[in-house]
Amino acid sequence: MAQMNDSNKSKTDLIKELQSLRQQMAAFEKMETQRRDTQKALEESEERYRSVFENTGTATIIIENDMTISMVNAKFEELTGFPKNEICNRMKWTDFVAEEDMERMKQYHVKRRQDRSLAPTEYECRVHNRLGEYKDMYVRIDMIQGTLCSVGSFNDITAFKQTEKALIESERKLSKLMGNLPGMAYRCKNDSLRTMKYVSAGCKWLTDFSPFELIDNSKRAYMDMIHPDDRDHVYDQIQSSLAAGRPFQMEYRINTASGQLKWVWEEGLGIVGEDGAVTEVEGFISDMTGHKLEEEQLIKENKSLKSSIQERYKFGDIIGKNRSMQDVYEHISKAAVSNANVIIYGESGTGKELVAREIHKLSDNSDRPFVPVNCSAIPENLFESEFFGYKKGAFTGANVDKSGYFDRANGGTLFLDELGEIDLSGQVKLLRVLEGGGYTPVGGHEVKQADVRIVAATNRNLKEEVKAGRMREDFFYRIHIIPITLPPLRERKDDLPLLIEHFLSVYATSENMPVLDGNVLGMLYNYDWPGNVRELQNVLQRYITLKTLDFLPASVPRSVLAAGTNTDEIIQDAVSLEDAMDHFEKKVIAQVLAKNRWQKTRVASELNINRKTLFRKMKKFGLL
């Protein structure tokens, strides 16, 4: 029947059916092409998405509605130590969350799916890896639009958290340390009131105000605590230092909350803001009241010492209470605490080397060598070898190395006695050393630096030597830094009793201790002592042995013998040396007063003492 129907179809109908079939095939092919294109686009899109997912630079996962992880990237595998085939569709993301963060993460998951605004998209939590090691994570999770899935990324901030923790601990320790320090650490605004933004707990101990009362000037501005007489100076000094970009330090007074006046020491520096201006100041203020009281006490003691020095009659091995000797003692004390060169002026026999040794003994280098040199005894041709030393083979007879004076005095004091005897050639050689150029041993090549303190002595007027061309001016100024002048014995005869008593105690024994009668004392007192203390020492040594005074014949004037002829009538019995001298002085002064009709200026001139000394002695002996 079908065949009949087909056969009954006209050719036209068959052609139409064939055309329709072709159209259907063409449409199908078009649809298949579109499907393939769409599939390819989807695959390419998925590949791009997967590439982005894999290369985000952070550990990333896709979280399903039931918290199951459906996709992870390589970074997450690296983070957790689990491969993706063990994670995807098998593990929940909360399986990696630390116990203390678990409940919070679950709440966020549920609320996020109810309403995205109910849960934060960024937060911190701790996750663990396969080995059970925990890490701090900065997490960002948000919903994938049109789904119940979410995407989460994880940044490892463990190192940052450890640093943060260490910083917090450091700040805690610093705060504790600052709180225990006997002072106040602070940070304040750079304003006229010095408004405090931070103060350490030590402020209570320092100011009697609590930190709360000082911060933001809640109860008192710090600037108002500064003593009114110091306030402007403190502000000006701080501003001057800040403007110059340097730290500041100063001392001043404050009035505490309890009304106590304190001396404080402050050190601080400016904190520069982004605009380059000083916006804040940081520093530390400590109580120096005790130190200040000690300083004031030292000043008082120093004044007392200077006052008592007037009564001092001995300084080390130096004897004398004369006013000029008190000045010498003071100069010795000042020279001892300095490293500057010293020049000691004085006639022969006045004790220049004693002064030099005393300066060395009182200095910081007292445990180092003291090397005395008699400059007048060094021939010109041996000058360098004596001062600088020489090397073996430097000249005939130089069989071994020999150190010079500078080597032997290294770290200590080199005493150049009779400095004025050094000729110009020697001055040039010493000047090079004094100016830091060093010295070279004879026959050597190594330049050595001198670490010595120079103390020199002379009986010449070096300024006159410079004028006469016998001393270089530059050499003079290198030496003449701290001058000390020793008076001759004839200008301090009031020291004779002390000196005589000293030398007798040194050279005499109880068996041969001589008794000095008025005649002997008169001769000693009226003699001019051209050889000074050294001559007195020698005269007394001879007197102890020979029992007669033996002055240098050429230097003994007749008046010396005449002056003492009648003094023994004053002293009939043996008395102390000081009493004998007092008796003798009184008689001499009385005789000269009578001779000059009590014209005290003439008397003082004839006795070679000043009017003040004459009045003091007249009062002492009841002659006023």
- Looking at residue 388, what is its pLDDT? 93
Whether the pLDDT of residue 571 is over 60: the answer is: no
Most confident of 264-278, 505-519, 599-613: 264-278
d(CA 336, CA 418): 21
Task: Confirm if 513 and 500 have CB atoms less than 8 A apart.
Answer: no
Please report the sign of the dihedral spanned by the C-alpha atoms of residue 356, residue 357, residue 363, residue 367. positive
d(CA 624, CA 621): 8
CATH of domain 312-487: 3.40.50.300
In angstroms, what CA-CA distances link 303 with 296, 298, 307, 327, 397? 11, 8, 6, 15, 59
| Beta-strand runs (E) in 260-419 | 261-272, 278-287, 314-315, 318-319, 342-345, 370-374, 413-417
d(CA 81, CA 379): 92
- Looking at residue 37, what is its pLDDT? 67
d(CA 370, CA 359): 10
d(CA 61, CA 59): 7
- Looking at residue 92, what is its pLDDT? 94
Structure tokens, 24: 């259907």
Q: Per-residue pLDDT averaged across 77-86, rounded?
A: 93
- Looking at residue 572, what is its pLDDT? 45
Q: Which amino acid is at 303?
A: K
Which residues, including other chains, have CB under 8 Å from residue 117's CB and lie 6 or more apart? none
Fold (CATH) for 164-293: Beta-Lactamase (3.30.450)
Task: Confirm if 322 and 345 have CB atoms less than 8 A apart.
Answer: no
Q: Per-residue pLDDT averaged across 143-149, rounded?
A: 89
Task: Confirm if 496 and 609 have CB atoms less than 8 A apart.
Answer: no
Task: Confirm if 102 and 123 have CB atoms less than 8 A apart.
Answer: no
- Looking at residue 262, what is its pLDDT? 94
Please report the sign of the dihedral spanned by the C-alpha atoms of residue 466, residue 354, residue 493, residue 418. negative
SS3 69: strand
What band does 285 get if pLDDT is binned at 50, 70 and 90? very high
Lowest mean pLDDT among 89-93, 279-283, 371-375, 616-620: 616-620
Q: What is the mean pLDDT of the chain?
A: 84
Q: What is the pLDDT of residues 463-491, one digit of tens each?
A: 999 999 999 999 999 999 999 999 999 99
Whether the pLDDT of residue 208 is over 70: the answer is: yes
CATH of domain 56-156: 3.30.450.20
Whether the pLDDT of residue 405 is over 90: the answer is: yes
Structure tokens, 507: 């050279």
Give me the residue spans of the domains in the chain: 2-52, 56-156, 164-293, 312-487, 493-620
Whether the pLDDT of residue 385 is over 80: the answer is: yes
d(CA 602, CA 595): 10
- Looking at residue 555, what is its pLDDT? 40
Structure tokens, 379: 């021939």
End-to-end C-alpha distance for the chain, whole angstroms = 183
- Looking at residue 167, what is its pLDDT? 80
Residue with the bigger pLDDT between 65 and 305: it is 65
* Range 508-513 contact pairs with CB under 8 angstroms and sequence separation of 24 or more: 508/544, 512/544
Q: What is the pLDDT of residues 316-330, one digit of tens each?
A: 889 988 889 989 999
Structure tokens, 192: 């006229």
Q: Do 312-487 and 164-293 have the same topology in CATH?
A: no
Q: Which amino acid is at 582?
A: D
* Predicted TM-score of the model (pTM): 0.46
Whether the pLDDT of residue 271 is over 50: the answer is: yes
Structure tokens, 292: 């200040």
Whether the pLDDT of residue 78 is over 70: the answer is: yes
d(CA 52, CA 49): 5
Q: Per-residue pLDDT averaged across 592-619, rounded?
A: 80
